[in-house]
Chain A
Amino acid sequence: KQEVTQIPAALSVPEGENLVLNCSFTDSAIYNLQWFRQDPGKGLTSLLLIQSSQREQTSGRLNASLDKSSGRSTLYIAASQPGDSATYLCAVLNAGGTSYGKLTFGQGTILTVHP
């Protein structure tokens, strides 16, 4: 059964810092990996989608990498701003085993960027 773990569970940084959020998964048979942002009491907003054949995706100050063989993805946020404060979740779309065709979510990293 696929398991997705996000480390750290919470992170607090001063404005302007570059930071890395980590996501690991136990089964490398995936179609894609998606990073989301969730503000308190709101739905999820898609940030980046990486297909299994890709190594990274970039959008503005965000860069996500994928190492499928080691079961890891990182989300890099450059020059963090207070508006980046939110919970960040990763999810993998499973391509094999009992989780075939299903998304498995991590529990998220709560990011606080203080001025």
Chain B
Amino acid sequence: DGGITQSPKYLFRKEGQNVTLSCEQNLNHDAMYWYRQDPGQGLRLIYYSQIVNDFQKGDIAEGYSVSREKKESFPLTVTSAQKNPTAFYLCASSARGLGGIGELFFGEGSRLTVL
């Protein structure tokens, strides 16, 4: 079935460690996104990519990094520089990039907890 797969579903990290969250899509979508969701707040955009080998910072990119070497994959690294990394992370994709008229599809999310 076509869709977006995020892994791991749950992840625990010690302070000072980098972790990488995986996001894979088989929808043949050009654009991919990472959002962060915190209780009581709306979704906030971390990074987005409209095409392979290109990505842009969103509203809260500090302490995060991404790569887009393949169309299907958009991994997110949460670095030790991210001051408050405990959150629910959501990956999404759309057929066209922001500014187009594409519908947004989401993965099931990854919950990161810093111990």
Interface residues, chain A, with chain B CB atoms under 8 Å away = 4, 31-32, 34, 36, 41-46, 49, 51, 89, 91, 93, 95, 100-108
Contacts and interface: CB of A to CB of B under 8 A. Distances in A.
Contacts of A34: 103-104
Interface of B: 4, 6, 40-43, 45, 58-59, 88, 90, 92, 97-101, 103-109, 111
Contacts of A89: 42-43
B103 A49 contact: yes
A42 B109 contact: yes
Contacts of B88: 41
Contacts, number: 58
Main secondary structure of the interface of A (DSSP, over half): strand
Nearest to B3: A43
Given A31-B101, A41-B111, A93-B98, A105 B42 contact: yes
B109 A41 contact: yes
Given A89-B43, A93-B98, A95-B99, 10 more contacts: A41-B88, A41-B111, A43-B6, A43-B109, A44-B92, A45-B106, A89-B42, A101-B99, A103-B104, A105-B42
Contacts of B97: 101
A100 B59 CA distance: 12
A101 B98 contact: yes
A43 B108 contact: yes
A43 B107 contact: yes
B99 A43 contact: no
Contacts of B4: 43
B3 to A, nearest CB: 10
A91 B43 CA distance: 9
A12 B109 CA distance: 26
Nearest to B41: A107
B46 to A, nearest CB: 12
B42 A4 contact: yes
Nearest to B105: A46
A103 B103 contact: no
A43 B99 CA distance: 23
